Chain A
Amino acid sequence: MSTASAANASTSAGPAGRHASGRALLEVRDLVVELPVEGSLRPVLHGLSLSIQPGEALGLVGESGSGKSMTARAIDRLLPPGARVRGTIRFDGRDVMGMEGPELRRFRTEVAMIFQDPRAHTNPVRRIGDFMTEALRTNEGVPLREAEHRAIQLLESVGIEDGPRRLRQYPHELSGGLLQRVMIATALLTRPRLLLADEPTTALDVTTQAEVMAILDELRREMGLAMLFITHDLELAAAVCDRTAVMYAGRVMEVRVSSLLHDDPLHPYTAALAAARPRIDATLPRLAAIPGRPLSAFEAPADACAFASRCPYVQEECGRRQPELVELDGGLTRCRRAVELRGTLGARRA
């Protein structure tokens, strides 16, 4: 089956993975990123494409080395020095890669980022208030009193009521969950339109994770904020995002409406990831482990499917050509057998 006929088999009217109407807030196309490692360039992304609509939450799921964090860093122009980038990133129609000076600063107020470890992204000797209001004061010239007032209001909306006292505290005086809420409030202070969230709850306890996710979800809806939510946890992404993209070895393998991800995945890798997790509601005689180990982007073959060596559905042809990301059943998939396998991969939950 050729990729062309897979594309023809699509049942969706509009471009899959995108909503039919309106312009994407973020459009990443054919993004290639290489980083210098010991004197040579190593690929971390192989032509990544994705789009996010205004107000939409897109999950980005993958194992270590898949390139999910690098995707967020490339979008926010936070790649290490010496990185080589090709492809296009457009935010609200503007070319992100060409931005400089004031335009780049304005872009950074419209796109905010939160990280896995809030403590690594705060300065231990600066008070919370100083840290929270810095962007407002320096980029937007908001007076200190006004900036603090807005910070206190946002702290309240993330469930921290004694804002004035918190502003005078130092990061070490706050628990991890509390500090992550401060980071969320800080990220939202400049009224961004897109939030890049890189494993923001991974270091938190599960009950705290639920709390932080609920806060994010609520504020996002109130503010019409779009989000790229990066996680290794397929179940979490599927639960909180409108659509989920699954990455492997520097490429997007599948993009699917989250509600269909478990029951009707389009790519064997997505199905394998879901099946490999133990279940909370049943003890399985044996877990469906995926043989081998995840490939990093730099190990991925250029002219073969990167998942081929671990895929239960592999055929000879899979090792000879790089499959394209094609539309199918309202989603996107990078598997040359996708049409043939459609509807059969979600058997685990049946």
Chain B
Amino acid sequence: MTEPVLEVADLRKTYGDLLAVDGVSFSVWPGGSLAIVGESGSGKTTVAKMIVGLERPTAGTIRACGRDRSSPARSTGERRRRGREVQIVFQDPYTSLDPRQTVERALDEVLRLHHGWDREQRRRRVLELGELVGLDARQIRALPRSLSGGQRQRVAIARALAAEPKVLILDESVASLDVSIQAQVLNLLADIRDETDISYVVISHDLAVVRQLTEETVVMWHGRIVERGPTPRVLDRPGHDYTKRLRASVPRPGWKPKRRNTAVSGARGE
């Protein structure tokens, strides 16, 4: 029987009195795709940050490729190995790239760090990666500032893939893209998963994106998982009240927005 490629158990994160993540558990299987759905403050991005080591869990365990990564890496080698296990692509392609580095150099740096290939091998792989995400030779030699938002996001995806991770976390990675470009990137992500055994963790508030990209969904609300199941079931027949409200809030033909009929008076607002 196969092992999960990523396993999160009873994860907790507190900031002072604030309980940001409260007992979150899930598994991602090789080649699988899991969505974490929720709104701002639900804790979904904090979970992602703990998985890639940008935040330290208060309690709970995280295992990737059979190895524990609940506490910080002790050596450079260990950190690099973790980089080959899990990579992340953030929402904003404008701040996640070094403005002084050409695409080619950014990709080459990752290849050099992770694979120890010679120059010629790396050069070929840079072109392959460019081709995989739809960047031509001219764009490969460009600085980020001469690329559009959609092209930068492809660079960010190519850079994450350069480490050949087993798991790719997509944290609202297509949210800021224009509709026509978003469709191109979503198709690209589907192709990459078809061609490799990579797994995705898709963090999104956009339920249509979640439907297109994942098979399993967990719904987070106030730091906890309130519902989980196959994505089509969760979206078509939501069980939890919050999931129902989320589903009903999505604009569609014939949709009429409804007031929740709760006047705000508490200090916290919504």
Contact = CB atoms under 8 A, between A and B. Distances in A.
Contact of A238 (B149, B180, B253): B253
A290 interface: yes
A287 B253 contact: no
A289 B180 contact: yes
A225 to B, nearest CB: 16
Interface string B246-270: 1111111111111110111100111
Interface in B126-185: 148-150, 178-184
Contact of B179 (A162, A210, A232, A263): A232
A293 B148 CA distance: 9
A273 B187 contact: no
Nearest to B247: A280
B212 interface: yes
A211 B180 contact: no
A294 B250 CA distance: 25
B270 A293 contact: no
Contacts of B260: 207, 211
Given A214-B257, A278-B212, A281-B236, A289 B251 contact: no
A283 B149 CA distance: 26
Interface residues of A, number: 54
**Interface centre among B181, B207, B209, B253, by most A CB within 10 Å?**
B253
Interface in B179-201: 179-184, 186-187, 190
Contacts of B186: 278, 287, 289
**Interface centre among A161, A205, A233, A279, by most B CB within 10 Å?**
A205
Given A175-B269, A206-B39, A239-B252, A276 B182 contact: yes
Contacts of A233: 251
A122 interface: no
A193 interface: no
A162 B265 contact: yes
A283 B212 contact: yes
A218 interface: yes
B270 A276 contact: no
A239 B178 contact: no
B232 interface: yes
Given A207-B245, A214-B259, A286-B187, A63 B179 contact: yes
Given A214-B257, A278-B186, A280-B250, A161 B263 contact: yes
A125 interface: no
B65 interface: no
B180 A205 contact: no
B39 A207 contact: yes
Interface in A274-332: 276-284, 286-290, 293-294, 310
A262 B253 contact: yes
Interface in B29-76: 39-40
A273 B236 contact: no
Interface residues on B, range: 35 or more
B183 A277 contact: yes
Contacts of A174: 269
A64 interface: yes
A43 interface: no
B264 A159 contact: yes
B265 A277 contact: no
Nearest to B261: A159
Nearest to B209: A278
Interface string A223-236: 00000000011111
A211 B259 contact: yes
Contacts of B190: 286
Nearest to A288: B183
B46 to A, nearest CB: 16
A307 to B, nearest CB: 11
Contact of B270 (A208, A215, A239, A287): A208
B211 A279 contact: yes
A279 B253 CA distance: 12
Contacts of B20: none
A205 B205 contact: yes
A238 to B, nearest CB: 6
A7 interface: no
B256 A239 contact: yes
A288 B247 CA distance: 24
B226 interface: no
Interface of B: 39-40, 148-150, 178-184, 186-187, 190, 205, 207-209, 211-213, 231-232, 235-236, 245-260, 262-265, 268-270
15 contacts: A159-B263, A161-B263, A206-B246, A206-B250, A211-B257, A211-B260, A213-B257, A217-B256, A233-B251, A235-B255, A239-B257, A276-B179, A276-B180, A278-B209, A293-B148
Please list the 3 inter-chain residue pairs (A to B) with the smallest Cβ-Cβ separation, ordered nearest first.
A289-B183, A278-B212, A290-B180
